[in-house]
Structure 1
Amino acid sequence: MEQVERIWFELLGGVRAWRGDEELDLGGSKPRAVLLALLLRAKKVVSQAEIVEAVWGDAATGGAHSLVQTYVMHLRRVLEPGRARRGAGKVLVSSVYGYTLRIEPDQLDLSVFTQRIGVAQKFRAAGDLPAAVDAFDAALSLWHGPILADLSGPLAEVERVRLQELRLAALEERAEVVLGLGHHAAVIAELKALSAQNPYRESLCVLLMIALYRNGRRADALACFADMRRRLIDELAIEPGPNLQRVHHDILNDRDASVSGAAKRLVPRQLPRDVHAFAGRHGELRELDCVITEVGQSPVTAVISALSGTAGIGKTALAVHWAHCIAERFPDGQLYINLRGFDPALQAMNPEDVLRQFLHALGVPAGRIPVHPEAQAALYRSEMADRQMLLVLDNARDSAQVRPLLPGARTCVVVVTSRNHLTGLIAADGARSFPLDLLTVEDARDLLAYRLGRERINAEAQAVEQIITCCARLPLALAIAAARAGTEPHRSLGSLATELQNAGARLDLLATDDPHINVRAVFSWSYRALPPEAARLFRLLSLHPGPEISLPCAASLAARPAVEVSAQMQQLIQANLVAEPTSGRYSFHDLLRAYAGEQTQCVDDELERASATNRMLDHYLHTAFDAAMLLYPARDPICLTTVHPAAVPEVLPGYDDAMAWFSREHKVLMTVLNHAASHDRDTVTAQLAWTLATYLEQRGDRHDYAISQELAAKAADRLGDPALQILTHRLYANALAQLGHFELAHDQLIQCLALSTRSADDVATAKTHDSLAFLNERQGRYGDALAHAEQALSLFNKLGRKEGLAIAYNTVGWLHAMLGEYASALTFCRQSLDLHEELGNRLGQAETWDSIGYAHHQLGNTTQAIECYDRGLHIFRDLGDNYQEANTLSHQGDTHEAAGDLKAARKAWQSALSILEQLDHPDAAELRAKLSASA
């Protein structure tokens, strides 16, 4: 890309642009609203339809698209004088798909603000509070005037709220740092002003109370609490939250309230986006609102079910819409999960899987989550005990699936949707039932009017009645019918009604005794209107097990270029056949998945379906393999089959990209793995599980690590391939050991030894002894561990396998150190280091420097130990291996502590903790304990 002109853009206030010292004339509010839409998605294509929705929303007229073109041409003239011709821009570029603003992050004040906040947070984490304050000040200096002044429209309204929240969060964090420096009086005036502007923001009240108390103004601090409590009770009918109450209790008892203790805990906001043009259900919403009056008296559970058991009746739409209406009443956040109780393609969610997801969302590290479901449920109830939260449990199968997910807190509300009435939940758990019937004719007419306009509906009243009848007053069917009518505004509704009446048989999944329900007709009607390639993509998407699919995977599935598939996806989205919950990721409604599955069975032959599935699996397997090797380059690779030419594995440049990809695709990969295992794809199952091992181990996700490796071991047993059996059972043993199931892990490794001996595979035998050494070390049996490590060393030496020998020397050296034999440890580790340097294995060198550093530490050579750790850290950082970097930083901190330099020790531990918290790794708990003990 050619170098673009350096223009500075601002949106932290009014939307403005500067070239040098010259402010550019962007025009009135509408062109600046267009620019806002482009700035927020810089470097990405923004379609004309997206800009119209952002600037005008439902108020858009037929001429809005032409106005967008006019405003874009004006902006291009301003930003790029002399390049007014459409499509000729280099900064503001046009294409058939829309418009792209090509600017770098350092050209936009919002991006610079985010970067500076990140710097401030790093300084704070490292304990450098003065530098943190300076960085916060530098970030906050970018704000100028009222936020998005003079702009209107849906996007500006949403962004105004979001940006205000960003600024407030930064101001609060800066105040916390200033309080940490002991400058209590310096923040009182600012906190008072902010509290006056945000009278219900409890976190500001917390900080103001602490500042007042520490400044000797205890009475004022208590009065601040009393004012907030009175306001909350009188105007919102709620009590203050737990953090505010805790600080009040501390001050009341003349105890200093800590900023860290009062800091905001993780607040999940998991609700899906609100339903566009939600209509009707006024009575149901009033009844649900009555539930809120009972919050605080007893736990509240509301069950939204369907009278007829019909899917598509709007249970989720009502639950999500109501949840958005009341979300502000729950300051500790909202949790959402699709329990997949009636998904035709995917298994229903197990309660223990949901509990782990919820605990993770609540900030519980993976390593702290217990193995047994009863213990998980107990921890979940404890975490929820003092929170005010809203939970939406969507698409539940039965009461047993829901019951473990109910918190005991009286301050929580749970909304459950199901096709069943869940009578067990109502009878045994006191849930309130809200059964849904079909829409009334009036509500159905309102739904169509919201989407098509009242004028058009009134002009063809009889046709509208026919459409409502054909759609059986089913919200999902009506929404699809409206989407179809909306794409053809010049076509009469009468002709659409006639086509609906003549459609084919109803979808079997929706078959009931009611002869009017004909949703398959609506689906088929939308499907048949698709261009052939989009229809083919729609069919093939049903072969993906879900829950979401990325664009590169969809391109692999369809064997088409990504740019074509992206355009086809937009056609499916516009037809309401596919959703895009997050940018570039797509999902199905379960009924549409079933319908697409029917179509691919009817239209695409078995070879086409099998080829598409193979391309999809190739995409995941080969991308995951590349990602796994980036996480652990020294790992012995497995041999994959050649990737299909039409599959599109993702290109991942480095360690961070690999970690990000695994994090993004984690749930999908586990679903694909289960899908492969249940469809006799044993080789793919074993290989895909292998690719996941390093990521899951580094994340500390012991549960998924064990599940994936167990599936792999069973697949290898079915294949009867001894080498694969040894590999998979060894990894399964490692996962079991991390869960503390040492006896089961030992049995797996003994099985591996028997297989390798029977196969005369000395390399596998040596690696199994290495795994046995690890297992015994985990149990503190260092003598037994050393014996196995020495057997591995002997075998690798006999075989002349320098890679294995280098690792074995380090393992033997480390275990000598564990036994207190530090001189021997250094001898073996130096031999390991020499071999790793000869082989050019930098990761192995870094790991060995860590071992050598530990031995020097124990010998009292603290200066040498710190130097060794520094050499290892340099390599780990260069390789991007964050987990190993954190491990070595922790060891280095121990050495600094031993040398009497507590400040350096805490700095190293804090840096390690920051990394492990980003990885959500269970080892973070040990570091928190060290920091707490050294405070």
Structure 2
Amino acid sequence: MVEDPAALFGASLKRLRARRGLSQRQLGKAVHLDHSVLSRYENGVRVPDPDLAERLDTLLDAEGALLALVPAAAAADLPDPAAESTGGRTGADGHASADAVRRRASGLPSLSRHFLGRDTETAVLLAALPAPPAGGTGDGGTRDGAGAGQPPAPSAAGPVVPGDPVVLAVHGMAGSGKTALVVRTARLVRDAFADGCLFVDLNGHTADTEPMPPAEALGRLLRRLGVSAAQLPAETGERSALFRAVTEELALLLVLDNARSTRQILPLLPSGPRCAVLVTSRGRLTALDDAEHLALGPLPPADSLALFRSIARTPDTAATRAACEEIVRYCGHLPLAVRIAAARARHSSLRELASRLADEYERPAELDDGERSVVAVLESSLSALPAEQREMFALLGLHPDEPFDALTAAALARISPGRARRRLEGLHDAGLLLRATADRYRFHDLVGAYSRTTAVSRLAAEGPAAALRALLDHTLRGCAEADLLISPHRHRFPSAAGPARPGDRAFADYEDALTWLTDNLGALTGLCGTARRHGLDAHCWQLAYALRGVCFLGRHWDAWDRSHAWAVEAARACGDRIAEATSLGNAALSHSTRGLLEPAEELLDRAITAARAGGDPFAETTALAHHAWVLHQRGRHAQAVAEQHTVLAFRRGNGLPRNLAIALRDAAVMERAAGLGQAAEEHLAEALALFTALDMRLDAAMALNVRGEFAARDGRAREAARHFVRALEAARDCGSAYERARAHHGLGLLAAAEGPDRRRRAGWHLDAARWRFTALRAEREAARVAADAAGLGVPVLTPPSGHGPPSAAGTPA
């Protein structure tokens, strides 16, 4: 009795799978097949096509045993596809003839019914590929986007250079859905290729599997096109030449999935101008010169949420929406992570899952459903990299999750900026870094979490501490250099980072320094906390000190409060009472500037005590000056003036022109409130002269606004307007949105007082002031402007949503 061929194939498959220690799910994942289909094969219910049998052969090291069983099974159970298309014709040598080669090839994996979004990317790919004939749409849906989730109609494909097939390369980080995108695209256009479609998984990043050599891939492709094993040359170059010859007149779509490198792809490119190739890889295949490249990032939040709901089967209710949005945000909108989280959500509550994913250090490990794992795909990407790039990946995990550049990476690795830049580019090309700007990089949220989680374990024992010290030295020197430009003549402390070194940051001018500090403020603030956690306390409080200038200028309250809270702790930990007094005083200034007088006064009492304990009259009078300002805000003007005059006497006698100028300006405001108008005018004029001589731009803008306010209250409208216009220019020059708003407020009130014909100008200025104050979260000031506008009956000209106030050039007459 002849054994059933399907049963024979199934028994052999089951035995070989067990020998390799693989589950049906694991094997199915490797060949892009649902495990239930594999189960039917093993139970003898059906037989696979030769393409799948060959892939199973390779994965299970069966040396052709499974493929040899397929013809017998096909003869007993299925029609022979080659016989159907060629009438059984073969060449004189007994192998497939040219006609046999032309049979329609097929081998695309199935497309998940949960594929959602990517319409824009699909349209880009479709635009470069030939359209199927009228009425032909493949099996992936309509090409014109007639249904929900379908791509829009593409533009006509560009001309094809004779002899050159279309090559489209899609690259992106692990788990971004590259394979699903190209399979969807291939299914939409497959009818445009008369000779069919071939799919090869090149195993570029498959766990526990070596990348497929080009010779093996060529062997598979040629056999699927009808070339017998006996006709296959041994050399890769000869197989590639044969493949080009065979495909020269074919209209074939080739999908090369999961490529490791350009070297793996080049021998597999067909020659026919009616062919097209879709390639996926985690890194950009930069040496694939003739390809069109498409970078694939995370899903848009709406598509990410829809994908999660589709798989998790959660109802769209108010009760579930917040939890679902939180989960997909924790997933970084990465399709693989969203799919894993959705699969887990079907067996646990949304709240519990969100709670588990909330911990950044546990999040990568939590995104594992037993079959798929974010950690596994990241590890497979890392394992393909050279040792120095793996080390750089680990070192970057010591840095806060904000953009970083080559200078930062060079400091961490203690190498030249050029070498650091090349390593960053390598990580970017491998899909492990994203480009934030032209010269700065960042992690995807999950990749960053994984880097920070594993950084210490990946580095040598002394590596993390030495790298962090080098990074903080470099950062502190850079911040101090930038602060010298935006806060000139400020009191300086001996640097914990030591003297300047080659490779330190240099800034061209004030604007360059301000831009760098502002753009990197999140990371710089985070490094204050990093220094505190690792016991580098002098670095911590000095870094906060260097950041106070930009925080005051931009009213960056969160960065100011966080950095100085750490600074106070650090100063106390290292027993430096002067540093403690300085940090407490600067923390108090943040509070008093916002009108938070009680916490400010408490901090200043502690600052004065610490300064006296440290025996430093400079620190004591600085804290006393801040305290005098709090008294002024409380309406205790006489007491404030008395304290400020004590500060003035010390400043005049100790050769501190910057601090003297600031004390003079503040004294003028306090004196004016106390009824000492003449003294106030004299002190303010002296302060402004010093600010101008010392090139203290922000302080000059502040003093000009004070002069305008004094003149306006005295009824000197024209003089007040001149001061406010100068203040507006000075504020724009130094980058102070707060002082610009203050000047606009003053100009708006002056315009309103001129009469009804100036109401439009008044409304413009008042709205510019209110808009800027609101953007700075200066709620008191914004409310005061709104109240003034309402009290004067001035119509406020609100700019359109998403737009800032008009430029000065657009000021109404």
* Deviation of 1:830 (Å): 1.8
CA distance 1:298–1:767, shift in 2 (3 Å): closer
Aligned partner of 2:540 in structure 1 is 685
Amino acid at match of 2:542: Q
Q: Which residue of 2 aligns with 1:291?
A: 315
Q: What TM-score does the superposition give when structure 2 sets the normalisation length?
A: 0.54
* Residue 599 (structure 1) aligned with residue 458 (structure 2): yes
CA displacement, residues 130-181 of structure 1 (integer Å, 9 cap, x when unaligned) = xxxxxxxxxxxxxxxxxxxxxx9967x99xxxxxxxxxxxxxxxxxxxxxxx
Describe the superposition over 1:860-886 as per-residue Cα deviations: whole angstroms up to 9, x where unpaired. Answer: 111111112223333333333333222
CA 1:305–1:853 in structure 2 vs 1: closer, same or farther (change >3 Å)? closer
1:910 matches 2:808:
no
Matches within 5 A, 1:87-106: none
Instruction: Look up the match of 2:583.
Output: 728
AA aligned opposite 1:714: E
TM-superposed CA distance for 1:821, in Å, is 4.0
How many residue pairs align between the two structures? 519
Q: Tell me, which stretches of 5 or more residues in structure 2 are unaligned?
A: 1-123, 129-155, 162-168, 173-177, 187-253, 267-283, 344-353, 796-813
Superposed displacement of residue 748, structure 1: 2.9
Matching of residues 853-872 of structure 1 within 5 Å: 853-872=708-727
Name the residue aligned to 1:351: none
Aligned pairs (5 A) from 1:205-604: 271=301, 285-286=309-310, 288-292=312-316, 295=317, 301=323, 316-318=337-339, 341-344=358-361, 395=363, 419=366, 438=369, 473-476=371-374, 479-480=377-378, 523=379, 527=382, 529-546=384-401, 549-573=404-428, 578-580=432-434, 582=436, 584-586=441-443, 588-600=447-459, 604=460
Change (3 A) 1:824 1:857: farther
**Equivalent of 1:674 in 529, 534, 537:** 529
Shift of 1:744: 3.8
Give how far 1:711 is off. 1.6
Q: Distance in 1 between matches of 2:311 and 2:392?
A: 42
Q: Distance in 2 between matches of 1:785 and 1:418?
A: 58
Deviation at 1:585, TM superposition (A): 1.5
Q: Report if aligned partners of 1:713, 1:728 keep a CA contact under 8 Å in 2.
A: yes
Give % identity: 19
Does the CA-based 8 Å contact 2:697-2:733 persist in structure 1? Answer: no
Q: Which residue of 2 aligns with 1:229?
A: none
* Contact 1:551/1:585 (8 A) holds in 2: no
Q: Pairwise mapping of residues 593-632 of structure 1 onto structure 2 (< 5 A)?
A: 593-600=452-459, 604-606=460-462, 608-632=463-487
Which residue number in structure 1 is paired with residue 58 of structure 2?
none
Q: What's the offset of the Cα at 1:767?
A: 1.8
Amino acid at match of 2:785: L
Corresponding residue of 1:455 = none
Aligned counterpart, 2:685: 830
Conserved? CA contact 2:488–2:694, under 8 Å: no
State the AA in 2 paired with 1:796: R
Counterpart of 1:29?
A: 158
- Measured at CA, do residues 807 and 724 of structure 1 come closer, stay the same or move farther in structure 2, by a change above 3 Å? same
- Helix, strand or coil: the match of 1:29? coil
Q: Which amino acid aligns with 1:597?
A: V
**Counterpart-to-counterpart distance in 1, 2:767 and 2:312:** 47
Partner residue, 1:768: 623
Cα separation, 1, equivalents of 2:572 and 2:671: 36
- The letter for the 2-side match of 1:29 is G
Equivalent residue letter for 1:712: A
**Cα drift, residue 617 of structure 1:** 1.3
Per-residue deviation, 1:685: 0.9
Distance 1:927 1:538, change over 3 A: same
Higher Rg of the two aligned structures: 2
Superposed displacement of residue 65, structure 1: 7.3
- Partners of 1:571 and 1:30 in 2: CA distance: 34
Deviation per CA, 1:219-241, whole angstroms, max 9, x where unpaired? xxxxxxxxxxxxxxxxxxxxxxx
Letter paired with 1:580: L
Where do 1:173-188 residues align within 5 Å? none
- C-alpha distance in 1 between matches for 2:585 and 2:744: 29
Q: CA deviation at 1:650?
A: 4.8
Change (3 A) 1:645 1:734: closer
Distance in 1 (CA, whole Å) between partners of 2:491 and 2:764 is: 35
Equivalents in 2 of 1:305, 1:873: separation in Å?
A: 46
Distance 1:763 1:653, change over 3 A: same
Match for 1:599: what amino acid? R
Question: Partners of 1:48 and 1:773 in 2: how far apart?
Answer: 63
Kindly indicate whether residue 745 of structure 2 is the aligned counterpart of residue 893 of structure 1: no
What is aligned with 1:253? none
Q: Decide whether the 8 Å contact of 2:480 with 2:546 is kept in 1.
A: yes
1:791 corresponds in structure 2 to: 646
Distance change >3 Å, CA 848–CA 688, structure 1 → 2: same
Cα distance in 1 for residues equivalent to 2:325 and 2:724: 57
Tell me, in whole angstroms, the C-alpha distance in 2 between the residues paired with 1:902 and 1:798. Answer: 50
- CA shift, 1:770, in A, is 1.3
Q: Structure 1: how far apart are the matches of 2:322 and 2:465?
A: 48
Paired amino acid for 1:909: L
SS of match in other structure, 2:653: helix
Shift in Å at residue 759 of structure 1? 4.8
Aligned residue type for 1:735: S
Where 1:680 maps in the other structure, the secondary structure is coil
Which digits, 9 at most, give the CA deviation of each residue in 1:765-801, with x for residues without a partner? 3322211122222323322222221111122123343
| Separation of aligned partners in 1, 2:262 and 2:578 | 62
Which deviations, in whole Å up to 9, do the C-alpha atoms of 1:428-458 show, x marking residues without a partner? xxxxxxxx9836xxxxxxxxxxxxxxxxxxx
Partner of 1:140: none
Describe the shift of the 1:781–1:852 C-alpha distance in structure 2 as closer, same or farther (beyond 3 A): same
SS at 1:814's partner residue? helix
**How far does residue 736 in structure 1 lie from its aligned partner after superposition?**
3.6
Listed one character per residue, the Cα deviations across residues 645-690 of structure 1 (whole Å, up to 9, x for unaligned) are 7785555555665555445434333332222112111111101212
CA contact (8 A) 1:272 1:581 kept: no
2:539 is paired with a residue whose SS is helix
Give the direction of change, closer, same or farther, for the CA distance of 1:651–1:932 in structure 2 (3 Å limit): farther
User: 3-state SS of the aligned residue for 1:291?
Assistant: coil
Match 1:809 to one of 659, 664, 670: 664
Residue of structure 1 equivalent to 2:785: 927
Match of 1:753 in 2: 608
TM-fit CA distance, 1:479: 3.3
1:136 is matched with none
Equivalents in 1 of 2:300, 2:647: separation in Å?
A: 49
RMSD: 5.0
